[in-house]
Structure 1
Amino acid sequence: MAHDEVVNRYSGLARAALAGETVADCGAEAFERGRFGAAGYDDTEGLPESALRASLGCGNPVAVAELREGETVLDLGSGGGIDVLLSARRVGPHGRAYGLDASADMVELARRNAREAGATNAEFVCGTIEAIPLPDHAVDVVISNCVINLSSDKAAVLAETFRVLRPGGRLGLSDVVTTEALDPELRTATELRVGCVAGSLSVAEYRELLLKTGFVATSITLTAEHGDGVHSAIVQAVKPAISPGLEIRPMRDADAEQVLAIYQAGLGSGQASFETTAPSWEGFTASRLARLRYVAADTGTGEVVGWVAASPVSARPVYAGVVEHSVYVHPGCQAHGIGRALLAAFIAASEDTGIWTIQAGIFPENSSSLSLHQALGFRVVGTRERVGRHHGTWRDVVMMERRSTVVGR
């Protein structure tokens, strides 16, 4: 179903709700059995009746978003506003709750519901979830209730979500996902029956898209089953945390010059590696895993101030979950927590991708790197004495590793 058809469909439902009708975007039996709509909530006391009538979601994202007082939250596809009104309660008078919907009729309905509820810290905006009309780093939490599955460009939705979240911001969604389906036609019929008109992502596809976008600490928890591999699910993820003015995001080819310059500066210090010259970008990318490369960048200028990446330790399948990593910070930006933030994000992402051991070889003279790694759960497993010559001098290397507390337990 095309974007305009989706908007027209939900605009019609909004007009029905404005007229006092109870609405549903899937069959009545599925609506009740799947706990769609207001049936998925247990804290709706005091909300306008029209907000309950127009509740069309497949879960309760507010219950899993762990909203805190004073935070700013954005609801993608806010419909009649039930999740925004509940969020406004949670964040309190010093917080703010935004609702975004592509249907002007839904926005009108939600604004009326907010006035009736007296929610002065709730604001509703008309626009698409593929091009969110908010500035960068504007919100602490993004929620959505059975809406992202309606988009035909889910990658754009998640990219926009990542953009508007502040570093350390959280994603808490209810959505429709699929597991293995025996018959694609039956699966499609089930998706249409529960209102998933644009088709759902599989659990694996959803997780991969979150990681590719830059989210870490991802989890997808199946809730209600709707048949033929279609489920409602809770989707949670985090944008990596770092100090104000910076952002951790996936490394891009456009970062090549800055990444290699920081690499060369680190090698020039004499304490980073036995290597003395940074490789070409082709050599750099060929030797490092594509999914575990991140940079810390200035949010104002885009300047890269640090990076982290990993290489496999072996091509043998038994070592598939073992990597060796490197983390480098611009010489002028050290001692500001950038390396720690990059390494913490890398650890979270590595566990999302099934890595169970991270290794590092560090010169014993590099006390700051040793301390950083120990603070983030690495342990010393031994010292390789006089293992190699560096600028004509034999040097030792301290071998450290971090075993995952999640993968391989």
Structure 2
Amino acid sequence: MAHDEIIDHYSALARAADAGWVVADCGQDAFEQGGFGVAGYDELGTLPEGAVRASLGCGNPVAVAELQRGETVLDLGSGGGIDVLLSARRVGPHGKVYGLDASPDMLALARRNAEQAGVRNVEFLHGVIEHVPLPDHAVDVVISNCVINLSGDKAAVLAEAFRVLRPGGRFGVSDVVVDGELDPVRRAAAEQRIGCVAGALPIEEYRELLTRTGFVGIRITPTADHGDGVHSAIVQAAKPAIGPGLEIRPMRDTDAAQVLAIYQAGLDTGQASFETTAPSWEGFTAGKLPHLRYVAADAETGDVVGWIAASPVSTRPVYAGVVEHSIYVHPGCQAHGIGRALLRAFIAAAEDCGVWTIQSGIFPENTASLSLHQALGFRVVGVRERVGRHHGVWRDVLTIERRSTVVGR
């Protein structure tokens, strides 16, 4: 369905729920047997009947979002408000929950439900999930219930979720996914039987979108099998954590000048590499994997203060899960935990991509880098003695590696 058709469709369902009908977004049999609606909830006793009647989700994201007292939550496509009200209970009076919906009728229904429930720490916003009307870093958790699959621009939805999350924030949604690319006949059969499947992504495509957006710690867990390769699923991820005023995001071409300047500053110390001059941007990107490139940036100005990237160690298939990494921090920003945050995010992202070994070489004299890596699970596996000359001096290199405990076991 087109965007306006979706709004009209859900507005009609809101009016039906407000009139006392139990509404369903799928065939009734599929709705009742497939875990849609309120089937996934076990804490409905104190909610208004209107919120329960208007529940159109495919799971219970509140149950997996691990909400804490005092947190701020955003529900994308909040409908009649059931997940907003449940979240408000979890975060308590010092927390806050935003519900975002494009349907004025759903928003009116949700506001009435909140008033009936006596819930004050909620705010319902009119807007679309591709353009969230909240500032950057406004929330701790983003939830959603069987709504993202309806968007025609899922990359924009995930980018907005990443933008409004604070560093370390969590993404926990219920959604509909499919196994691989469904052939047209199977997809048509599923959509005829289960209207909620419209727009559902293959699991691996969903994972790739989350990775490209900058999320780490990605888990997609099917929760119900609806046949024809269609599943309800819990999708969980996190925005990398870092200190106040900073964020970690994927590296962009527009970061080129700052990334290379930080690279050169590191080389100028004489302790980072045998290289003495940073390459051109074309040379830099040619030697690095297109994914697994991240920067730490000032959240207000966008200035890059550190970066990390990976290179393949070999084109042989057996080494597909082995990479070599480089990490550099602006000389004026060291000893602030930026390198540790970058490396921690990189490790999580690498494991999301199926990397089982991360390796690198470090001069023995670079004790700060060695300590950082050892603190995050790297170990020295060998010494390459007098392997090369640097400014006229033969130097040793420590070979370090980190073997994943979750990938390649």
Check whether the contact 1:323–1:359 (CA below 8 A) recurs between aligned residues: yes
Question: Which residue in the other structure is 2:145 paired with?
Answer: 145
Runs of 4+ more than 4 Å apart: none
Question: Which residue in the other structure is 2:178 paired with?
Answer: 178
In the TM superposition, what whole-angstrom CA distance separates every residue of 1:363-406 from its partner, at most 9, and x where no partner exists? 11111000000000001111111111000001111111000011
Deviation at 1:38, TM superposition (A): 1.1
Whole-Å separation in 1 of the counterparts to 2:359 and 2:141:
33
Is 1:165 the counterpart of 2:153? The answer is no
Once structures 1 and 2 are overlaid, which stretch shifts more, 147-156 or 179-188? 179-188
Whole-Å separation in 1 of the counterparts to 2:108 and 2:198:
25
Is 1:318 the counterpart of 2:318? The answer is yes
Deviation at 1:196, TM superposition (A): 2.8
Whole-Å separation in 1 of the counterparts to 2:191 and 2:259:
44
Question: Which residue in the other structure is 2:121 paired with?
Answer: 121
SS in 1 for 2:380: strand
Whole-Å separation in 1 of the counterparts to 2:135 and 2:182:
43
Check whether the contact 1:191–1:200 (CA below 8 A) recurs between aligned residues: no
The amino acid of 1:103's aligned partner reads S
SS in 2 for 1:384: strand
Over the matched positions of the two proteins, sequence identity in percent amounts to 78
Whole-Å separation in 2 of the counterparts to 1:378 and 1:161:
32
Whole-Å separation in 2 of the counterparts to 1:192 and 1:359:
50
- Following superposition of structure 1 onto structure 2, how do residues 103-118 of structure 1 map, counting pairs within 5 Å? 103-118=103-118
Check whether the contact 1:171–1:237 (CA below 8 A) recurs between aligned residues: yes
Residues 362/233 of structure 1: CA separation in 2 closer, same or farther (3 Å cut): same
The amino acid of 2:225's aligned partner reads E
Check whether the contact 1:188–1:199 (CA below 8 A) recurs between aligned residues: no
Equivalenced residues, count: 409
Whole-Å separation in 2 of the counterparts to 1:182 and 1:167:
36
Check whether the contact 1:363–1:397 (CA below 8 A) recurs between aligned residues: yes
Whole-Å separation in 2 of the counterparts to 1:58 and 1:321:
34
Whole-Å separation in 2 of the counterparts to 1:252 and 1:245:
20
Whole-Å separation in 2 of the counterparts to 1:365 and 1:54:
64
Question: Which residue in the other structure is 1:199 paired with?
Answer: 199
SS in 1 for 2:143: strand
Alpha-carbon RMSD across the aligned residues, in angstroms, is: 0.9
The amino acid of 1:169's aligned partner reads G
Whole-Å separation in 2 of the counterparts to 1:298 and 1:192:
48
Question: Which residue in the other structure is 2:100 paired with?
Answer: 100
Deviation at 1:316, TM superposition (A): 1.0
Whole-Å separation in 2 of the counterparts to 1:191 and 1:332:
56
Question: Which residue in the other structure is 1:211 paired with?
Answer: 211
Residues 259/63 of structure 1: CA separation in 2 closer, same or farther (3 Å cut): same
Whole-Å separation in 1 of the counterparts to 2:119 and 2:193:
34
Deviation at 1:107, TM superposition (A): 0.4
Question: Which residue in the other structure is 1:373 paired with?
Answer: 373
- Following superposition of structure 1 onto structure 2, how do residues 10-409 of structure 1 map, counting pairs within 5 Å? 10-180=10-180, 183-196=183-196, 198-409=198-409
In the TM superposition, what whole-angstrom CA distance separates every residue of 1:299-333 from its partner, at most 9, and x where no partner exists? 11110000000101111111111111000000000
Deviation at 1:123, TM superposition (A): 1.1
Deviation at 1:180, TM superposition (A): 3.5
Check whether the contact 2:180–2:203 (CA below 8 A) recurs between aligned residues: no
Whole-Å separation in 2 of the counterparts to 1:46 and 1:262:
56
Whole-Å separation in 2 of the counterparts to 1:308 and 1:197:
38
Whole-Å separation in 2 of the counterparts to 1:132 and 1:193:
32
Residues 408/280 of structure 1: CA separation in 2 closer, same or farther (3 Å cut): same
Whole-Å separation in 2 of the counterparts to 1:156 and 1:376:
33
The amino acid of 1:215's aligned partner reads F
The amino acid of 1:76's aligned partner reads L
The amino acid of 1:162's aligned partner reads F
In the TM superposition, what whole-angstrom CA distance separates every residue of 1:42-66 from its partner, at most 9, and x where no partner exists? 1111100000000000000000000
Structure 1 unaligned residues grouped into runs of 5+: none
Whole-Å separation in 2 of the counterparts to 1:55 and 1:381:
55
Check whether the contact 1:51–1:110 (CA below 8 A) recurs between aligned residues: yes
Question: Which residue in the other structure is 2:4 paired with?
Answer: 4
SS in 1 for 2:25: coil
SS in 1 for 2:336: coil
Residues 317/142 of structure 1: CA separation in 2 closer, same or farther (3 Å cut): same
Deviation at 1:11, TM superposition (A): 0.2
The amino acid of 1:130's aligned partner reads E
Whole-Å separation in 2 of the counterparts to 1:104 and 1:371:
55
SS in 2 for 1:263: helix
The amino acid of 1:67's aligned partner reads L
Once structures 1 and 2 are overlaid, which stretch shifts more, 174-183 or 332-341? 174-183
In the TM superposition, what whole-angstrom CA distance separates every residue of 1:115-174 from its partner, at most 9, and x where no partner exists? 111111011111000000000000000000000000010000000000000000000010
Deviation at 1:214, TM superposition (A): 0.4
Whole-Å separation in 1 of the counterparts to 2:251 and 2:150:
29
Whole-Å separation in 2 of the counterparts to 1:192 and 1:9:
16
Deviation at 1:184, TM superposition (A): 2.2
Residues 249/182 of structure 1: CA separation in 2 closer, same or farther (3 Å cut): closer
Whole-Å separation in 2 of the counterparts to 1:83 and 1:187:
29
Whole-Å separation in 2 of the counterparts to 1:101 and 1:191:
23
SS in 1 for 2:385: strand
Deviation at 1:188, TM superposition (A): 3.0
SS in 2 for 1:210: helix
